[in-house]
Amino acid sequence: AAPPPSSPPVGLSPKAAATVAAAAAAAAVGGGSGGGGGDTAPVRTPQPPASPKPPPSRSSDGGDESASRIRQSLGKAVFAAKMMGARRNAGQCAVSLAFLRRFRARLVKERKDAATLSTSQVVQEVIKPMTASSACRLADLNMNDLVSEADIGPPDYFISHAWSMPFLQLLDCFFNHLQGALDSTRVWLDIFAVNQHPGAEQKDDLENLRTAIALSQATLVCLDARGTPLERVWCLYEFDNTLALKGADALVLLTPGFSTREIASIFRSIDVDAAKATVLSDKQMILDDIRAKHGSTEAFNAKLKLRFLLDPLDAKPDMMALAARAGTDAAQWNLRPVAEWLASPQGPQVAVLTAAPGTGKSTITAVLCLGPEAAAEVAAAAAAGSTPDRPATAATSGRRRSSTPGMAGRRISTPSGGAGGVTVHAFHFCKYSDARRQDPVRVVKTLAYQLAQSLPELGRYYCGLDPGTLMQLNQPDTACRELLVMPLQQTTTARGQQILLVLDALDEADKTPQPTTGGNAAVPSAPSAPSALDNKVLQLLLHQLSLLPDNVRILATIRPDPHLLGPIRDRFPNLRELTPGMLRRQDKTHSVMQTRLVERFGEAS
């Protein structure tokens, strides 16, 4: 068995090994599973070791101060390791766009057939001969006219591709996507980051795929006309790691010139059992890992198909940030009022958690979605300066325990069946600064995607729909009917299963009020008051989600603004209204202070 990526490469002296360990500690990154997604890729052996803690996200001008410190530490660590004869972690061997442009120019100059060369041919006929004398990866070559130390480092993007794709087409695919990016932007390409000469070094390089994915902002999937990456088991494995480590938003499909129907047809064919691999033992180990994480390859296929067909939004980072400030005492939360509302057969379909800004409504939403114990774990990890893994909600953890080792940080364990009788099956966080979060069709597709993870029967239902029709849903009423109302009526009502949807911060979906100008006024007047008609997520709740079956309950958090709360009260006369104070266990001191504030200033309006 190969040593875990956190261990130094086999054969190093104790002193060099110590240098590598110090380098890893200074850089705060580790290793991961192998991969690379090539048609003629060398032997790849996936492992489930611990993944690295990703650095803070970087901005286009080089990143924030924290990311800069990490990069400086990496540079010092790499230099020290080189001095001691140690090798750089392959996960940190991304190459700059500037290098790729130089490499492309040299290839076009020296090869008349450059336009027809596949990526595999570039490896066999160009990269391997260039590196044959030292049997190293191209990223380690000492060729200042082609590759310099400044060109190599942690990745900004991970490139997933098939080696059968024409190499220049591959470059054009992600060059076009990264138009305007700095020349120093780095992408992780297996043909440069992995030693292409079989041996121990190659195996060590291939065990660091998860390092590269965890450090990257996103995985860019470069599709050819046949959709070949979706037919390669290593590419599908890269997608799985991206979804697990980074979330749905980080898996970006590049489909230049494809029609919606062509893309839909490609998605329909996703089948990891039928996917190809150069080495059969690689495929078997990947399938075993997928079954361990997803329960079955069928569940994995459905999740991946729906990720591409529904294009859901990913609010997990927001939920984690909210949970991080929820406090480490799980006992402070009192979810009984929500549980009693859900347990009442005659209870109203909709409940609202309403209070003024800054009173913790969204934090309570995160606690409901994760469960108090898991939220407390997130808060404890944040207080300790570590990063817990992306958690499952109580609904999905109750269905499938995640036992996959080696994920970044700590795995968050949520209680089976929800906490205090509350299980959130799907949620959406509105966000004022993100127009996508205010799009009602995207909200519906996001809820449907999450419901498919919580209720496998729904996933099978969605996968049976026409992919082209699914991708072209663009009206709230049609999307809600096809993805929520009809499926929930046909697959869950008969069983009487209670389903809870949560919509957080409906007020964040308000349209920005525009200042009005009057007659000959020299200055515009104050902005006009917001209107309920302009809040598309509120309209979705009032007119489409209100048609869901009786066994589906909806909890929304909202400010007590008249233009928001008034229409909800009118549409749902039996509305259940909650406040943050009702869901917290108050200590005596807090209770006394609150009573005195009420006596002095009165109840909040």
DSSP code per residue over 149-203? GGGEES-SEEEE--TTSBHHHHHHHHHHHTTT--TT-EEE-HHHHS--S-SHHHH
Rounded CA separation 293/302 (Å): 14
Band of the pLDDT at 56, cuts 50, 70, 90? very low
DSSP state of 545: G
Which 3 state secondary structure label does DSSP give 218?
strand
Say which range, 53-57, 249-253, 515-519, has the weakest mean pLDDT.
Answer: 53-57
Strands (E), 384-489: 426-429
Q: Are 9 and 195 in contact (CB under 8 A)?
A: no
Query: Beta 94-96 vs 186-188: how paired, if at all?
Result: antiparallel
Domain residue spans of the chain: 14-39+63-310, 316-510+531-601
Band of the pLDDT at 48, cuts 50, 70, 90? very low
Q: What is the CA radius of gyration of the chain?
A: 26
Say which range, 71-85, 130-144, 328-342, has the weakest mean pLDDT.
Answer: 71-85
Residue by residue, what is the 3-state secondary structure of 308-322? Answer: HHHCCCCCHHHHHHH
Residue 578 phi/psi, 5-degree rounding, is -120, 160
Which 3 state secondary structure label does DSSP give 13?
coil
**Which strands form 218-222's sheet, in the order they lie side by side?**
152-153, 94-96, 186-188, 157-160, 218-222, 251-254
Residue type, 588: K
Question: Could you tell me which CATH number the domain at 316-510+531-601 has?
Answer: 3.40.50.300
Does residue 68 register a pLDDT over 80?
A: no
Q: Are 89 and 29 in contact (CB under 8 A)?
A: yes
DSSP state of 81: H
Band of the pLDDT at 587, cuts 50, 70, 90? low
Q: What distance separates the 2 farthest-apart alpha carbons in the chain?
A: 86
The arithmetic mean of pLDDT across residues 490-507, rounded, is 85
**How many other CB atoms sit within 10 Å of the CB of residue 194?**
30
Q: Are 235 and 160 in contact (CB under 8 A)?
A: yes
Q: How confident is the model at residue 522, as a pLDDT?
A: 55
Q: How confident is the model at residue 219, as a pLDDT?
A: 96
Query: CA torsion 67→73→78→84, rounded to 10°?
Result: -170
Using a 10 angstrom Cβ sphere, with 0-12 exposed, 13-18 middle and 19 or more buried, the burial of residue 22 is middle
Q: Which residue has the higher pLDDT, 280 or 545?
A: 545
Say which range, 282-286, 439-443, 552-556, has the weakest mean pLDDT.
Answer: 282-286
Tell me: the pLDDT tens digits for 131-173? 998 888 888 877 667 888 889 999 999 999 999 999 999 999 9
Helix, strand, coil abundance in the chain, percent, nearest 5: 50, 10, 40
Q: Are 564 and 512 in contact (CB under 8 A)?
A: no
- Return mean pLDDT, the chain: 79
The arithmetic mean of pLDDT across residues 210-227, rounded, is 91
- Measured in residues, the chain has a length of 605
Band of the pLDDT at 514, cuts 50, 70, 90? low
Q: Which of 258-262, 338-342, 531-535 has the highest mean pLDDT?
A: 338-342
Alpha helix ranges (H) inside 392-455? 394-399, 440-454
